[in-house]
Amino acid sequence: MRYRKLGDIEVSAVGLGCMGMTHAYGKPADEQQMIDLIGDAVALGCTLFDTAECYGTPANPHENEELVGRALEPYRDQVRISTKFGLAFDWDDGKINHSVIADSSPEAILRSIDGSLKRLKTDRVDIYFQHRQDPNTPVEEVAEVMKDLIAAGKILGWGLSEVDEDTIRRAHAVCPVTAIQNRYSMMARWHADLFPVCQELGIGFMAFSPLANGFLSGKYADKSAFEDNGEDYRIEMPQFSEEAIAQNAALLEMLRDMANEHHATPAQISLAWMICKQPHLAPIPGTRKRHRLAENLGAADIILSEAELAEIDSALESMELSGVYGGTEVKAAQR
């Protein structure tokens, strides 16, 4: 495993996004199996684990943090935990892909951090992310609260998720930002213009959905792999439609060809592409399967040359790729 810095915090070059263990990819997985899987990740050199207070179910909205807390308690001093505040799902909106309600008021943040610390069985969060911007709370006000939480020792650093350059700069001017967590993959490259400002300000970039929700693994021929039970967001994701799979065939073929050259897999090439391009970036792919975990973490050992990176970038620019899932509707909290 290779390592890199997100701000001043060292992490493994590939982390583990834990959301899908309890949320968005069907019914929650078996708890003990996921605890064992997280332990396997630590044994394989993974030190970065991402969760959020809202990654759960209507029956237990905080299930993911509780799971991660139980799993990582024996390894707490060996790992870095990031979690997120400021969102709650609207479970009653009648959608599969539920809308979210944003509340980053100072009062809500202070409730959230204490709840997260208790569920995560820890005395500090390594990187505390504002999950989405709250239309009712200026980011400068959020940054002031982060400054106080750092001073109190409850968090070591903080970050912002799905943000633009202006928001980053405004927040950083109040309290230095450790990392941002934005969607980024070969099929979702619209945040690449933030890399220069991250480098300028010494901010890390955690790439979520780095495999386009699993599409770039090349393992899905159609939606039949997903259980249509109202709990799997992939049923509605555009990249898994029959038309999209045909449209993206050239991308998957390129990944397979390069994977064969490196004795790797398409997923590993997808991850290695971003790791080798950006030294301040750590992707956080998720999985429920041990062999996929080893595959994803193994991407850190694949070195792509400058020529190979340029070849991939050129190919991506020339391809007309399908749409890809871009997130959910954010609504402001009623106060």
Degrees (nearest 5) of the Cα angle 161, 28, 83?
Answer: 25
First to last CA, the chain: 46
DSSP single-letter state for residue 332: E
Sheet of 125-130: strand order equals 16-17, 48-50, 80-85, 125-130, 155-161, 179-183, 204-208, 281-283
Per the CB < 8 A criterion, the answer to whether 204 and 280 are in contact is yes
Q: Which of 25, 55, 184, 233 is catalytic?
A: 55
Q: Residue 74 has what DSSP assignment?
A: G
Q: What are phi and psi of 57, to 5 degrees?
A: -130, 165
* CA 100, chain centre distance (Å): 17
Cα distance between residue 194 and residue 104, in whole Å = 23
Residue 55: active-site member: yes
Q: Which amino acid is at 117?
A: L
Of 62, 50, 52, the residue nearest 9 (C-alpha):
50
Contact in structure between 109 and 76 (CB atoms under 8 Å) = no
How far is Cα 211 from Cα 269, in angstroms, rounded to an integer? Answer: 10
Encoded tokens for 221? 């021929």
CB 131 within 8 A of CB 270: no
User: Distance between CA atoms of 62 and 52, rounded to whole angstroms?
Assistant: 8
Torsions phi, psi for 175 (to 5 deg) = -145, 115
| Catalytic center residues | 55
